[in-house]
Structure 1
Amino acid sequence: MTNTSTVARGGDSFPAPGRRRHAPQRPAKARGLSPRAVPYVLLAPGLLVIAGLLLYPLGQMIFISFQKVGIPQINGKKPATWEGWDNYTRVLDNEIFWSSLRNTLVFAAITVTLTLVLGTAVGTLLNRLGKKMSTFVVIGIMSAWAVPPVAQGVIWRWLFDADAGMINWALNLLPDGLSELLFGRSDWTGEPWLNDAFTIYLVLIVCVLWSSFPFVAVSVLAGLRGIPAELYEAARVDGATPWRIFRKITFPLLKPVFSVLTILSIIWDFKVFSQLYVLMGGPNNREAFNLSLFSFAEAFRSPPKMGVGAAIAVILTLILLVVTAVYIRQIVKTEDLR
Structure 2
Amino acid sequence: MANPTTVARGGGSSPSPGHRRRKESGRARASGLPAWSIPYVLLVPGLLVIAGLLLYPMFQLAVMAFQKVGLAQIRGTRPAEWVGLENFEKILSNDIFWSALRNTVAFAFVAVSLTLIVGTAVGVLLHRLGRKMSLFVVIGCMFAWAVPPVAQGVIWRSLFDAEAGIVNWALDLLPNWLAAPPDGARSWVGTPWLTDTLPLYIALVFCVVWAGFPFIAVSVLAGLKGIPAELYEAARVDGSGPWRTFTKITLPMLKPVFAVLTVLSIIWDFKVFSQLYTLMNGHTNREGYNLSMYAVAEAFKPPQKLGMGAAISVVLTIILLVITVVYVRQIVKQEEM
Structure 2-normalised TM-score? 0.89
- Write the distance in 2 (CA, Å) between the matches of 1:72 and 1:64: 14
- Write the distance in 1 (CA, Å) between the matches of 2:57 and 2:98: 26
Q: Structure 1 residues 79 and 277 mapped into 2: Cα distance closer, same or farther (>3 Å)? A: same
Deviations 1:295-331 (A, max 9, x none): 0000000101100000000000000000000001001
- Write the distance in 1 (CA, Å) between the matches of 2:72 and 2:254: 55
Work out whether 1:261 is the aligned partner of 2:261. yes
Shift of 1:175: 3.6
User: SS at 2:312's partner residue?
Assistant: helix
Match of 1:213 in 2: 213
Structure 2 residue identity aligned to 1:109:
F
Matched residues, percent identical? 64
Work out whether 1:40 is the aligned partner of 2:40. yes
Shift of 1:129: 0.2
Work out whether 1:29 is the aligned partner of 2:26. yes
Ranges in structure 2 where 5+ consecutive residues have no aligned partner: 1-21
Q: Structure 1 residues 117 and 178 mapped into 2: Cα distance closer, same or farther (>3 Å)? A: closer
Structure 1 residue identity aligned to 2:228:
P
Match of 1:173 in 2: 173
- Write the distance in 1 (CA, Å) between the matches of 2:318 and 2:26: 51
Counting matched residue pairs gives 311
Asked if the contact 1:176–1:186 (Cα under 8 Å) also holds between the matched residues in 2, the reply is no
Q: Structure 1 residues 327 and 73 mapped into 2: Cα distance closer, same or farther (>3 Å)? A: same
Ranges in structure 1 where 5+ consecutive residues have no aligned partner: 1-25
Deviations 1:144-186 (A, max 9, x none): 0010000000000011111111111222223445433x98876
Asked if the contact 1:179–1:186 (Cα under 8 Å) also holds between the matched residues in 2, the reply is no
- Write the distance in 1 (CA, Å) between the matches of 2:330 and 2:173: 49
Work out whether 1:286 is the aligned partner of 2:286. yes
User: SS at 2:26's partner residue?
Assistant: coil
Structure 1 residue identity aligned to 2:97:
F
Deviations 1:194-226 (A, max 9, x none): 010000000000000000000000000011011
Asked if the contact 2:96–2:286 (Cα under 8 Å) also holds between the matched residues in 1, the reply is yes
Higher helix fraction (1 or 2): 2
User: SS at 1:171's partner residue?
Assistant: helix
Shift of 1:41: 1.5
Match of 1:272 in 2: 272
Deviations 1:214-258 (A, max 9, x none): 000000001101111111011011011111111111111110000
- Write the distance in 1 (CA, Å) between the matches of 2:178 and 2:87: 53
Match of 1:109 in 2: 109
Q: Structure 1 residues 29 and 175 mapped into 2: Cα distance closer, same or farther (>3 Å)? A: closer
Structure 2 residue identity aligned to 1:68:
K
Match of 2:95 in 1: 95
Match of 1:330 in 2: 330
Structure 1-normalised TM-score? 0.89
- Write the distance in 2 (CA, Å) between the matches of 1:317 and 1:326: 14
Structure 1 residue identity aligned to 2:104:
T
Q: Considering only CA atoms, is the larger Rg found in Structure 1 or Structure 2?
A: 1
